[in-house]
Chains A and B, each alone.
Chain A
Amino acid sequence: MSAKSTILSLPREEYVHPGTRACSGCGLAIAYRVGLKALGEDTMLIVPPSCLTVLQGLFPVAATKLPCLNVTFASTAAAATGIIAALKTQGNDHTTVAAWAGDGGTSDIGLQALSGAAERGDNFIYFCYDNEGYMNTGVQRSGTTPAGAITANTPFRGKPQQKKDVPAIMAAHHLSYVATCSAAYPLDLYDKVKNCLDYPGAKYFHIHIPCPPGWGYEPRHGIKIGRLAVETGYFDLYEIINGKLTLTAASEKLLEKRKLVPVREYFRAQSRFKVLTDEQIEEIQKQINEKWEGYYSTAG
């Protein structure tokens, strides 16, 4: 990755207006704002039904300053393909096409279209902002909701199934660029967006998004919780470039430090995990430790 950005080196220009309908302390608002700074003015956006639809505003007022096409739930990536095709026929090879979809719109209803667009090699960036549930419609469970999480569909015993590993699915499409990011690490997100523009075909971003009402914490702790997810080794920040995985930012530092914060701290900070038993947490800790043993040995 090229030179790392600092807060002061970030562009001043804002592409979102204040006063949106997003929740107080919304993690998406932070990630989206920085993501758009990296994408810049010459960008066209595609957004399916999701928190972002609401954040971007209700007709006739738009909070976003960039051109945006709202589309049906299942069709985000296909719509991106359509925009690219139109631009191509107009001889435009400079405008960036960026889709921003939630985890439900990506891992569940939108996966088919995303897979098709990835296979076709369409030149666009797909951002999945993962707040781990259908938060816009009231915290229903999605494919990326972690095991044990309380949601409106799993109100007492928590979600029985595992979190779907969408970055791995997208990497299996042999994309040139796949990245994981977090709203808690906006500079890392900014740099990765800038970096990915050099690569051909579809680029996939999976951004971890803390959500106060959905996860059950006071809004002011959002960044702290996002950081905990990474510092516990639970959610890893990486790039997969032409099949090669490299940890970045705080995850990269963990490789050197060789010390993970106990994942119990991450779970106990959110009320959605209150039915996770100590045994379950221990089991998850074991899995995380094994995963990191793997990273350590690959790093050599």
Chain B
Amino acid sequence: MGTRNYRRKTSHSESGPGDGGRTGSWRVERPVVDRSICIPARRGKEACFICWLFCPEIVVSRTIPPTIDLEYCKGCGICAEECPTKAITMMDEAKFAQEGKE
């Protein structure tokens, strides 16, 4: 089980993603961004980013437009709820599974 140095004798954790596993599997709905309505997408520059600000899971990127890391997105829906232009819609996850999109 490796060397018995001090870090192996203690509960010593190093940082990395996915402590909870692939938390994207928790979702029943996934956020879908409509680029024609999303403010930074329409303007072609950094703006708004309310979805980035409020995402509890840090899976919304601060890019133009914002993208969602589906590996970890838990589908809480806060981004959709808070988007000022309703550019984000929560869609049934099952729909994507059926279409073979994962």
Contact = CB atoms under 8 A, between A and B. Distances in A.
B64 interface: no
A10 B23 CA distance: 26
A253 B73 CA distance: 34
A27 B15 contact: no
A246 interface: no
B53 A220 contact: no
B57 A220 contact: no
Contacts, number: 116
B76 to A, nearest CB: 3
Contacts of B77: 25, 218-220
B58 A223 contact: no
A157 B100 CA distance: 48
Nearest to A212: B76
Contacts of A27: 56
A222 B69 CA distance: 21
A139 B26 CA distance: 21
Nearest to A10: B53
B49 A7 contact: yes
Contacts of B47: 8
Q: How large is the interface on A (under 10, 10 to 19, 20 to 34, 35 or more residues)?
A: 35 or more
A27 to B, nearest CB: 7
A221 B50 CA distance: 15
Interface in A1-54: 7-8, 10, 12, 14, 16-22, 24-27, 29-30, 33-34
B52 A7 contact: yes
Interface residues of B, number: 40
B81 A223 contact: yes
- Interface of A (DSSP majority class): loop
Interface stretch (A59-67, A92-100, A146-154, A257-265): A59-67
A219 B15 contact: no
Contacts of A218: 77
Contact of A25 (B19, B22, B46, B76): B76
- Interface of B (DSSP majority class): loop
B18 A19 contact: yes
Given A7-B49, A22-B56, A219-B76, A12 B81 contact: no
Interface in B32-81: 46-50, 52-59, 62, 69, 71-72, 74-78, 80-81
A18 B53 CA distance: 14
Nearest to B53: A7
Contact of B54 (A20, A24, A212, A223): A223
A292 to B, nearest CB: 27
B99 interface: no
Contacts of A12: 62
A24 B26 contact: yes
B74 A25 contact: yes
Contacts of A26: 56
A287 B12 CA distance: 49
A21 B21 CA distance: 8
Max chain A Cβ within 10 angstroms of own Cβ: one of B50, B76, B90: B76
B81 A17 contact: no
B75 A16 contact: no
Contact of B72 (A18, A25, A62, A65): A18
A244 interface: no
A19 B56 contact: no
B14 interface: yes
B13 A223 contact: no
A14 B16 contact: no
8 contacts: A19-B21, A19-B72, A21-B19, A29-B56, A58-B19, A61-B14, A63-B17, A220-B78
